[in-house]
Structure 1
Amino acid sequence: MYSSNQRPPSTTKDKMQAQGLPNYPLLLNKTQSTPSSQEIKSGYTYSSYGTSTLSTQPQYVSFHYLFEQTRPYEQYGQKLNPYQINQQQSSSGMTTSLSTTQKTNSTISSMTQSQPEQQQPSKYMSNVSKGICGLRNIGNTCFMNSVLQCLLNLPAFNEHFFNGDYLKDMNSKNSSVPNEYSKLVSTIRSTPNFQSVAPYGIKSAVENVMPCFRGYAQQDAQEFLVALLDGLSLGLNRVKSKSTYKEMNDNLNGRTLQDLSKEWWEYSKSRENSLVLDYFQGQLLHTIKCSYCNHNSYAFDTFLDTSLAFTRAFKILEDMDLDRLLDKYVIEETIDDYYCSKCKKHQKVKRKFTIWRLPHILMFHIKRFDYRRFSSDKLNHRVKFPLELDMTKFIQDSRKTFLILVDQSTKNCQYSLCGIVNHSGTLYGGHYTADSLNPFNLKWYRYNDSDVREIDVKQQRYDTDGSSSPYILFYARKSLY
C-alpha cells in the first residue's frame, strides 16, 4: 500500500551517482533498503549489503546483491546470453570482495557483472530468470512497476531490446527511454529467479519525457503506460523528417473504404513509424451519419489502447464481462449537436466505431475512476474476461457490410491473456499489482513490487466469477508465442 511517510529515495540515488555506480540494477535485502551515511563514507558499495544466502523456497527469495552490468551479451567478443555468461563466470570462480568495491569509477563502469559475495550453489547459478524478477518500490512507484511487469513479459516485443535490434532505429536526440528500457530488459533476464531490482533508470528517463511523473507522488498506471510507450516510440521513430501536416479527406469521393483506410494509415506512418507501433497500434473507423441529410463521413484513427467505460450519461451499469464492454464500445450512439459538412450546420447524428486493424498486442483500459462535476469515485464493478479472446465477433459487422475483410490484420483474431494491472483501494489511495504470463515457461506470476509469487490463473476464475481489481488487460496474439 502507499505510505504517506515513505522517504523518497532521491538521496540514495544521489549517493549512488556520487559513488560512480549505475542507476540499476540495485539489489538490496528487503530489511535494509538503503545503507547509512556512515557505511557509505566507509567505502562500502551497495553490493555489500544483505549477504544472507538465498532461500531454498523456490517461490519467494530475498534479494541481496548487486549486478553491475548494462549489456552483458556484448562483451567477451561475441554475443552471449546471460545464462552463458553466468556459467562462464561460475566456472571461473568470480566473486565480489571488498577490494572489488575500491575500484575506480571507470573500472566499475566497464565491469559486466559481479557475483554475490558468497558463492551460491550451482543450482542458483543455472536457474537464471527470464522475467521472473520483482521491481522495488522506490517511492510510491507501484503504478510504474505493475505496468513494467506486464510489458517486460510480452512475447516477441522485448527480444528487440535484448538482442540490440532496436538500435538500428535509434533517434539519438530521444534515446534515453529506449536505452534504459533495454538495460532493464537485460538486467531482468540475468537476475536470478524471485529476486528484485530497482528501476531508477527507466523512471528518470520517462520523467524527462513526461515531467508530470517527476517526484514520488501517486500516479495513474494507464497514464504511465501511455507515457512510456510514447517515450519508446519517440526514441525509435524511423521517420527522421515528418511529412507536412494536412487535413485528411473524410469523404469517399468514389473510393472504397479500403482505399481511404490505406491513405490515412500511410499518412500516419509518414509522421511516426516505430517498433512500438509495429506491435501496439491498431486502426479504428469512425463513421458519422447525419440524421437530417443521411450524409456519411469517415475518419480513420489510430489507437494504442482502448478505454472501456462502465458509464454513459452518468448511468452506472451493472457488473459485466469484457465482451459486453467491447460491444458497448463499438455500439452506435446518437449525438445531438454535431457539425455536418454537407448541411453546413450542426445536426443530430449517429456515430459508430469499427475496429478496422488489429494490433499484435491489445490493451484494454477499464475506466474505474468516475469523475463528475461535484464528486468522483472508483467503480468496483466485477468484470469477467477470458484467458483466450477471439476478436472476430467485434469486426463481423464490418465484414458483413463490406463483404470483404476489413484489413489483412483481422485474419488473425486469436489472442491470449498475458498481463493484468490490478488496482486495489480507492480513488484517493490504493495499490497496484500485476499478474503476468511468463513467455518462456508459460506460467503465471503475481508481481507485488519486490515480491514475486507463482499463481494458478485458472483458480482465479476470471472468466466465470470476474474480479473488481483489473484496471488494464493485455492480450497478445497467439502467433507471437
Structure 2
Amino acid sequence: MSKYVGRLFSPRDDHVKKFFSNYPICGIRNLGNTCFISSVLQSLANTQQIRSYCYHHYNPIKGRAGDKSVYHGSLLNAFINLTNAIWSGNYRFVTSLAIKDIVSETHPQYKGKEQNDAHEFLLIFLEILEKELNTKDINDFSSSISPQLLSPIPCRGTIKTYSRETSPSKEYYSPFEVEMNEIGSDDSSSDYYFSKNLISDVFRGRIKRVTECSICHSSSETFEEFISLSVPVPQWYSNETHPISLESCIELFLHYENVEDWYCEECNQKRKAKIYSTINDIPKVLIIQLVRIYSKKYPTQQVLFPLNDLVVQTSPNHFDFYDLYSFITHTGSLSKGHYISWNRVLDQWYCCNDENVSQSKPNTSSDTVYILFYKRKVS
C-alpha cells in the first residue's frame, strides 16, 4: 500500500519547499466556504500559550488526518495535531476537515458549505475546547513530543516519525523553538502544559460596571466576564473616510453613560445615574471583535490599529500594554465574504489566505480588520 494515504496533508516537493523555506507556518485548505474556520485556526495556532500546550501534548495519529474517528471525537486532539502540522514545516497546507466535522456534531450550522461568521465560530470553538480540558484526565498528559515534532512527516494522511537526524535544518525550525522558549518570559512556568483552565487562564477577562447615583453618589458594582470584547466602530455619515484609532473605539466602548429612572437603594427611589465601565481583570491575550455598521450609502469605517503598545486603561492610574500577534480581516458583505488571517512570527508578518501563505506587511489602517489578537507585554 502506498504511504500516501489520501491528500489531506500535502507534502512539499523540492520546488515548493524552496519557495516556502523561509515560512515557518503553512496554510489550511478551503473545503468550500470554510475560510472562517481556517482564519480562526491560524490565529489560535499562533497563540503562544495554545501552541505550547499543543507542542507538549502531541501524539502522532495512525490513519487519515482528516478523519474525525482517529481523534475519538475529541476536538482538542484534532486541534493539537493540526497545530503541530501547521508548524512542522513539512506541508504546503493542511486540512480542517476533522475539526469541522467534530464541531458540526453539536453545532449543525457548520455541516454544510454555507458561509459563517468567524467570531461566532471562535467563541464556539473555545467553548468546546474548554469543556474538553475540564474533563480530561491529567494522566493523559504524560507524553512529550519534542523529538517527533522536529522530524519529517512525508506522507499524506498517515503520520510517521523518524529520527531527529533526518529532520530539516535547525534554522528552519528556530522560529518555533524560540517562541516556545519565550513562553517562560511571560508565564513564568510550564503550568500551561497541563492546565485544565488553559482557555480561561489565557483569554478570560472581566469588566467592572459601576452605577452611581447623581444625588447621593452611592454606587453599585457588577462584573461581567468575557473571552472577547465586541467593540462597536462608530460610523461617520459622510462620503469620506476618517480613520478612528482602536484605542478610541475601546474608550467609547467603556465610556460612561447617563441613565434615567435607576432605582437607588440609598435614596429608596428612582434617580438619574451614571454608569461607567473598566476592564477590571485583563487577560494575557486580549481578543477584540470590531462591530461595524455596513451601509451601501456610506463607506465602511477605517480603523487604525497599532502593531505594538496598544494602551488599555484598567484603573485611573494604571495602564497595560499589548502587542498584536494576529488579526483576521473580512471582505464582502455580512452574508458573503472572505476571511484572511495575518500572523506575526519573530517580527515577520505572514498573510494566511486559506492554503496560501505569503510574507506581507499589514496595512494598519483598514476597513476590513475584524478580529484582533493582542498579547499582554510583560512589565
TM-score by length of 2: 0.70
Q: Could you say what secondary structure the match of 1:381 adopts?
A: coil
What is the alpha-carbon distance in structure 2 between the residues aligned to residue 287 and residue 183 of structure 1?
Answer: 44
Q: Is the 8 A contact 1:369 1:379 kept in 2?
A: no
Q: Could you say what secondary structure the match of 1:428 adopts?
A: coil
What is the alpha-carbon distance in structure 2 between the residues aligned to residue 224 and residue 349 of structure 1?
Answer: 37
Cα distance 1:379–1:228, how it changes in 2: closer, same or farther (>3 A)?
farther
1:188 is displaced (CA, Å) by 1.6
| Larger RCO (CA within 8 A; separation ≥ 6) | 2
What is the letter of the counterpart of residue 359 of structure 2? E
Q: Work out whether 1:431 is the aligned partner of 2:338.
A: yes
1:386 is displaced (CA, Å) by 0.9
What is the alpha-carbon distance in structure 1 between the residues aligned to residue 211 and residue 196 of structure 2?
Answer: 28
1:451 is displaced (CA, Å) by 0.8
Corresponding residue to 1:178 among 71, 76, 81 = 76
What is the alpha-carbon distance in structure 1 between the residues aligned to residue 258 and residue 237 of structure 2?
Answer: 16
Cα distance 1:217–1:238, how it changes in 2: closer, same or farther (>3 A)?
same
What is the alpha-carbon distance in structure 2 between the residues aligned to residue 436 and residue 326 of structure 1?
Answer: 22
Q: Any unmatched runs of 5+ in structure 1?
A: 1-20, 29-46, 60-126, 167-173, 241-271, 400-404
Q: Which residue pairs with 1:395 in the alignment?
A: 314
Cα offsets for 1:123-144 (capped at 9, x unmatched): xxxx5974x1101111211111
Cα offsets for 1:76-126 (capped at 9, x unmatched): xxxxxxxxxxxxxxxxxxxxxxxxxxxxxxxxxxxxxxxxxxxxxxxxxxx
What is the alpha-carbon distance in structure 1 between the residues aligned to residue 288 and residue 124 of structure 2?
Answer: 16
Q: Which residue pairs with 1:277 in the alignment?
A: 200
The two structures, once aligned, show a CA RMSD in angstroms of 3.5
Q: Work out whether 1:27 is the aligned partner of 2:13.
A: no
What is the letter of the counterpart of residue 433 of structure 1? I
Q: Which residue pairs with 1:55 in the alignment?
A: 16
Q: Which has the higher strand share?
A: 2
1:234 is displaced (CA, Å) by 1.2
What is the alpha-carbon distance in structure 1 between the residues aligned to residue 96 and residue 368 of structure 2?
Answer: 24
Q: Which residue pairs with 1:350 in the alignment?
A: 274
What is the alpha-carbon distance in structure 2 between the residues aligned to residue 283 and residue 202 of structure 1?
Answer: 29
Q: Which residue pairs with 1:420 in the alignment?
A: 327
Q: Which residue pairs with 2:376 in the alignment?
A: 477
What is the letter of the counterpart of residue 210 of structure 1? H
Q: Is the 8 A contact 2:58 2:81 kept in 1?
A: no
Q: Could you say what secondary structure the match of 1:55 adopts?
A: helix
What is the alpha-carbon distance in structure 1 between the residues aligned to residue 27 and residue 206 of structure 2?
Answer: 34
What is the alpha-carbon distance in structure 2 between the residues aligned to residue 219 and residue 369 of structure 1?
Answer: 18
1:230 is displaced (CA, Å) by 0.8
Pairs within 5 Å for 1:321-470 = 321-342=245-266, 347-369=271-293, 380-391=300-311, 394-397=313-316, 399=317, 413-438=320-345, 441-457=346-362, 460=363, 462=364, 466-470=365-369
What is the letter of the counterpart of residue 214 of structure 2? S
Cα distance 1:217–1:274, how it changes in 2: closer, same or farther (>3 A)?
same
Pairs within 5 Å for 1:203-214 = 203-214=100-111
1:452 is displaced (CA, Å) by 0.6
Q: Any unmatched runs of 5+ in structure 2?
A: 60-71, 138-194
What is the alpha-carbon distance in structure 1 between the residues aligned to residue 54 and residue 212 of structure 2?
Answer: 44
Cα distance 1:352–1:175, how it changes in 2: closer, same or farther (>3 A)?
farther
Q: Could you say what secondary structure the match of 1:365 adopts?
A: strand
Q: Is the 8 A contact 2:205 2:281 kept in 1?
A: yes
Cα distance 1:165–1:282, how it changes in 2: closer, same or farther (>3 A)?
farther
Q: Is the 8 A contact 2:73 2:102 kept in 1?
A: no
Cα offsets for 1:381-431 (capped at 9, x unmatched): 111111112435x1241x4xxxxx7xxxx7xx2321101100111223211
What is the letter of the counterpart of residue 42 of structure 2? Q
Cα offsets for 1:321-354 (capped at 9, x unmatched): 0111111122111123544455566543211111
What is the alpha-carbon distance in structure 2 between the residues aligned to residue 340 and residue 175 of structure 1?
Answer: 51
What is the alpha-carbon distance in structure 1 between the residues aligned to residue 116 and residue 298 of structure 2?
Answer: 15
1:56 is displaced (CA, Å) by 6.3
Q: Which residue pairs with 2:122 in the alignment?
A: 225
Cα offsets for 1:141-163 (capped at 9, x unmatched): 11111111111111232111221
Cα distance 1:293–1:211, how it changes in 2: closer, same or farther (>3 A)?
farther
1:433 is displaced (CA, Å) by 0.7
Q: Could you say what secondary structure the match of 1:294 adopts?
A: coil
Identical residues among aligned pairs (%): 29
What is the alpha-carbon distance in structure 2 between the residues aligned to residue 344 and residue 25 of structure 1?
Answer: 70
Q: Which residue pairs with 1:267 in the alignment?
A: none
Cα offsets for 1:208-248 (capped at 9, x unmatched): 343333322111111111111111111112799xxxxxxxx
Pairs within 5 Å for 1:178-257 = 178-192=76-90, 195-237=92-134
Q: Which residue pairs with 1:253 in the alignment?
A: none
Cα distance 1:367–1:54, how it changes in 2: closer, same or farther (>3 A)?
same
What is the letter of the counterpart of residue 88 of structure 2? S
Corresponding residue to 2:45 among 133, 152, 162 = 152
Provide runs of 4+ in structure 1 moved above 6 Å. 314-317, 375-379
1:299 is displaced (CA, Å) by 1.3
* Equivalent residue pairs, number: 305
